[in-house]
Amino acid sequence: MAEVEETLKRIQSHKGVIGTMVVNAEGIPIRTTLDNSTTVQYAGLLHQLTMKARSTVRDIDPQNDLTFLRIRSKKHEIMVAPDKEYLLIVIQNPCE
Amino acid sequence: MASKSQKQKISSGGKVSKRGKNKPTISVNEEEEPINMESLGHPEIYPLVLTTKTQEIFNCRIDEDITDEQPYKLIKKEDIFADFQNRAAVSDFYPLKKIIQEYPGDELLIVYDKDFRYGLNFYLIGTEEGKENYLNPPEVPEEQEEYKEHVPEDTYIYTPPVSKPWVSLGSEKEIEEESVKEFTKQITYMISRKRSQFGAPIKFSDQNASSVKDAYIECTAYPDKNFTVKQLEKDVGMQVVPKVKDTSTQTRWTYPKNATTQYCPREFSEEEKETLGQSKSLTDFLNNASISVEIALQQNEIMNTFIDDWKYLAEEEGTFGDKTDTHLKEYQSFTDLHNLTEKMITCVSWHPVIYGLIAVSVAVRLSFEDRVHFSGKLLLQPSLILFWSFSDPIHPQLMLESPEDIFCFKFCPSDPNIIAGGCINGQIVMWDITAHADRIENIKTGGGRSKKVTLKPMFLLEPESNKEAMYIRHCAVSSIENGHRNVITDIHWLSDTFEINRMGSVFENRSGICCQLVTCSADCTICFWDIRPQKPSAPQPTEKKKEESIEIPFDIPSTFLHLDLSWKPLARIRLSKGETSLDHCPTKLSLSEDHLPYKAQDKMLAQNKVMEVGEMNPYQNLEGGLANHLKPIEDFCTKFFVGTEEGEVIYTDWKMERDPETGRLMTKKPVSLYTVHDGAVHTIQRSPFYNDIILTIGGWNVAIWKEGVMTGPLLQSSCAPKRYTSGHWSLTRPGVFYIGREDGYIDIWDLLEKTHEPAQSQNICTTTITCIKPWTFSAKQQFIAIADYYGTLHILEIPWTLSHPSTNEVSSMNHYFEREVKHLEYVEQRKKIREQEKKQMELETEKKKVKTYQKSKELLEAELKMDYESYLELEKTVLINLGLIKVAEKVSYMDMM
């Protein structure tokens, strides 16, 4: 349990990271560093997007699977690391 | 028609008449309007309709006056004329009016036409002759009479017609073609039979046709190959038609019902989160996922892969004008040619709203003694604020009068028609130019100017040549006894978002307009003033009487009447250095809320406010003071910077506190005080881009401060060769500011280029520059107004390079300031470190001293012995080397030892 916190803390301490959250397979947040409403919004939307991305990849090639999803926008970059049961979402502002 | 009528005539007349063509004979009447029977050969007969009314009038009623025996009536012409007069166009005779008028005789003949021979029920005979003929018909009928002239014979002999040979005209061909003739010879059959067989009884019976041979002949159809044509091609038309099917359904209609749904996201409770957080699967997942995430994060930290290098290589999108041109270009200059005394410009301000309008305050260029000496002469000349416009460089548009020379003035940010100025004697003067606002608003280039704008010599110049230069008297002045005692050096309007009370506490400003001023003066005080009417504290009848006796000229607006001569400051702050020494003499102020106003958006706001307020100017109905029930705003920054005449920069608070001993209101002690300048500080200004960066200019150097950093200025320049006399930040470039020198040069500093000296220097005039004010009109046009000591105002245009910031200039400047702050911190730290080091070094030296002293005698002896022994050995080796002592001997010597 301390490991979990430690890992999350480590990720959060990177330069430019705005927020980190862990979401379960249904899109319900488990751990987060942002406020509740933002977390819930991100979790819901990104969960759906990840499902869609995964299904896309698997439709093209059933042997393939989604490993990482990065969305770059004007203001920041959203990184999603999917898993069978969980989803790790990190939001970073890459520009100096 | 003609032949028919002929026949008619013949039948009626009973005689045959030979007719030729109708000759268009005699009378002129035929060409007239009234229809006559010219076509029938009776030009004198005019058919006429007579209504029963007319018949009654003229006694020609049918079957009463007019009968078959006497089917005519003689009507007198006069009667007809009377009828015309009576009934005018209604009269039945009207169509024949002309004929009747021309009729020679007295009586006209109207004949009843029973058979409608001529079309209508009556007819008029239009000639005397005709009348005579009718009335007295000759034995020979009328038709004959006409042709009597042509056929001179009396009797008519009947000659039977002689047959002539027929002339073929081609009709027999047609007849031949049409007639039916037999072509073929007809076939005759003769059928005979024995006579005995005639009349025999006949018996009929039925017979099937097919059973008897040859009973019938049939011609069966058979396929004949000669006539079969194989159809190789067939043209078929096809059409695709969508199958349309009509179906209908019906839903059950219920009344519309409003329905809402509300949802909330699913969330885990705290315990669930805990349990999940501790599960092994999550730990494993995080360990696996964090690797890739961290790689991605680091990638982003290292480099931004998505930037367009090409785009960031270029500095600007497009330059306007020459890029290498960095000089300020002379645009226009204004001098007041009317006044003969030598004046200097003390303060310049651009009109916040109107393009091309700039106001300057002029003061006489005399020292204090000279002022006293010439005070009589000075009284005669009015002190003015002149409004110059780009369109007219000779005549000022407006002139505001004031009792004394103005040293500083400001337009009110919420209403540019209100101007507040500070005088040399410590009074504040207020003007309200709302009445003349339209005069200055409608200034167009060339409008109202005379065609020849040549500079005439001064004695020919008349101030009223084109436009009457308006002298506008001030609206109100502050009270002389209660205000400042010395020249007012700086005046500011407080922002319209807050207001302060006597204690210095800040309240929300509900009125929405700027209603408070702050002034600082050479009598070492800073005063806050409120332009709203104060509640009367104590009645002062004597003073009231005095005021009433003063008659105010009618053309002065009464906006500030309540303030005139009785205006007292709201709060007063005395900048004292302490109990004993002299007080600080403030020269300039910089408040925290005092942004450089009139940026583009603010200009729009100001314009909108002015327009909205058109009807109801809030300044006309200023309501009294503060609402005391408002709570003061707590964490408002009440600190501000003051520059003094000694060159100090003071950061102090305007909030008053109560002295615990005496209970009086006291000003707080200044937070920080720095003496960086060698002369009076004449410019303290916040940067238009950063609210906490302040530029101070005074004496021979420049300093940049950051509010909150107490250790010192961020940047302090070295001494310049010439004294600096005025300065201003650039409005559009965060790292640029302009400084005017006492020799008429302007130094342009660009902190991104050089921080130790100005980037450029340009000569503007020959004398001290007293005021610099840049102004932005549009993205492409930026002007800077430079006022000099001799009273000339120069307007220069700022080139593109100086006005247009590069893409990341703001962030670069930010970095620069941060670096400087860090540098200051580092310097502080280094100071501490150095102190520590210094201490350490001192300790060490101390220790060293102690050590040398503690060396005892035994040690000294031992040392001496050691030295001696080493010397002996050295001697031995030298002797061996010289060969004076043998080595063996040395050995035996050593053995013996």
Mean pLDDT of B419-437: 85
Q: How confident is the model at residue B779 (pLDDT cuts 50, 70, 90)?
A: confident
Q: Do B283 and A3 touch (CB under 8 A)?
A: yes
Q: How confident is the model at residue B524 (pLDDT cuts 50, 70, 90)?
A: confident
Q: Which residue of A has its CA nearest to B289?
A: A81
What is the per-residue pLDDT across B261-273, written as a single tens digit (0 to 9) for each? 998 888 888 888 8
Residue A68 has a pLDDT of 93
Q: Do A40 and B267 touch (CB under 8 A)?
A: yes
Residue B19 has a pLDDT of 45
In angstroms, the CA B47 to CA B123 distance is 4
Q: How many CB atoms lie within 10 A of CB B22?
A: 13
Res. B606: pLDDT tops 80: no
Mean pLDDT of B149-153: 54
Backbone angles phi, psi at B517, to 5 degrees: -125, 155
Res. B532: pLDDT tops 80: no
CA dihedral B858, B862, B863, B868 (to 10 degrees): 140
Q: How confident is the model at residue A78 (pLDDT cuts 50, 70, 90)?
A: very high
Q: How confident is the model at residue B41 (pLDDT cuts 50, 70, 90)?
A: low
Res. B870: pLDDT tops 90: yes
Q: Do B300 and A94 touch (CB under 8 A)?
A: yes
In angstroms, the CA B44 to CA B34 distance is 11
Res. B610: pLDDT tops 60: no
Domain count, chain A: 1
Residue B580 has a pLDDT of 52
* CB-closest option in A11, A28, A94 to B266: A28
Q: Do A79 and B267 touch (CB under 8 A)?
A: no
Record the tokens describing residue B271, joined without a space: 């315990």
The DSSP secondary structure of B129-152, one letter per residue, reads HHHHHHHS--SS-HHHHHHTTT--
Selected for mutation to probe chain B from A75, A76, A88, A96 (highest B CB count within 10 Å) is A88
Res. B426: pLDDT tops 90: no
Amino acid identity of residue B599, one-letter, is: K
Res. B18: pLDDT tops 50: no
Q: How confident is the model at residue A91 (pLDDT cuts 50, 70, 90)?
A: very high
Better-predicted residue by pLDDT, B325 or B725 = B725
Q: What is the mean pLDDT of chain B?
A: 75
Q: Does B266 touch chain A (CB under 8 A)?
A: yes
Res. B565: pLDDT tops 70: yes
Residue A63 has a pLDDT of 94
In angstroms, the CA B525 to CA B528 distance is 10
Better-predicted residue by pLDDT, B54 or B791 = B791
Residue A18 has a pLDDT of 92
CA B468, distance to chain mean position in Å, is 33
Selected for mutation to probe chain B from A85, A93, A96 (highest B CB count within 10 Å) is A85
What is the per-residue pLDDT across B684-714, written as a single tens digit (0 to 9) for each? 888 888 888 888 888 888 888 888 777 788 8
Res. A71: pLDDT tops 90: yes
For β-strands B476-477 and B428-432, DSSP reports them as antiparallel
The DSSP secondary structure of B259-312, one letter per residue, reads -----------HHHHHHHHH-HHHHHHHHHHHHHHHHHHHHHHH--TT--HHHH
Res. B536: pLDDT tops 80: no
Residue A38 in contact with residue A29, Cβ under 8 Å? no
Find the length of chain A: 96
Residue B717 has a pLDDT of 86
Q: Which residue of B has its CA nearest to A84?
A: B285
Residue B578 has a pLDDT of 56
Mean pLDDT of B524-536: 77
Q: Does B273 touch chain A (CB under 8 A)?
A: yes
Res. B467: pLDDT tops 60: no
Q: Determine which helix (DSSP H) or strand (DSSP E) holds B468, and give its type and residue range.
A: none
Quote the domain boundaries for residue A40. Answer: 1-92
Question: Strand locations in B563-619, DSSP E?
Answer: 571-574, 586-591
Residue B23 has a pLDDT of 43
Residue B727 in contact with residue B683, Cβ under 8 Å? yes
In angstroms, the CA B807 to CA B224 distance is 100
Mean pLDDT of B245-265: 87
In angstroms, the CA B129 to CA B109 distance is 11
CATH number for the domain that contains residue A36: 3.30.450.30
Q: Do A94 and B301 touch (CB under 8 A)?
A: yes
Paired with B695 in beta bridges are B685, B704
Query: How would you list the strands of the sheet with B470-472, edge to edge?
Result: B343-350, B357-364, B383-389, B398-402, B470-472
Mean pLDDT of B531-551: 50
ipTM: 0.87
Res. B896: pLDDT tops 70: no
Residue B126 has a pLDDT of 67
**Radius of gyration, alpha carbons of chain A:** 14
Res. B107: pLDDT tops 80: no
Residue B304 has a pLDDT of 78
Q: Which residue of A has its CA nearest to B284?
A: A4
Q: Which residue of A has its CA nearest to B811?
A: A96
What is the per-residue pLDDT across B284-324, written as a single tens digit (0 to 9) for each? 888 889 899 999 888 888 887 777 788 777 665 555 555 56
Residue B760 has a pLDDT of 87
Residue B589 has a pLDDT of 75
DSSP conformation class of B31: G
Residue B847 has a pLDDT of 86
Residue B37 has a pLDDT of 61
Residue B547 has a pLDDT of 43
> In which residue are the tokens 């680091």 written?
B298
What is the per-residue pLDDT across A9-67, written as a single tens digit (0 to 9) for each? 999 998 889 999 999 988 889 989 999 999 999 999 999 999 999 999 999 999 999 99
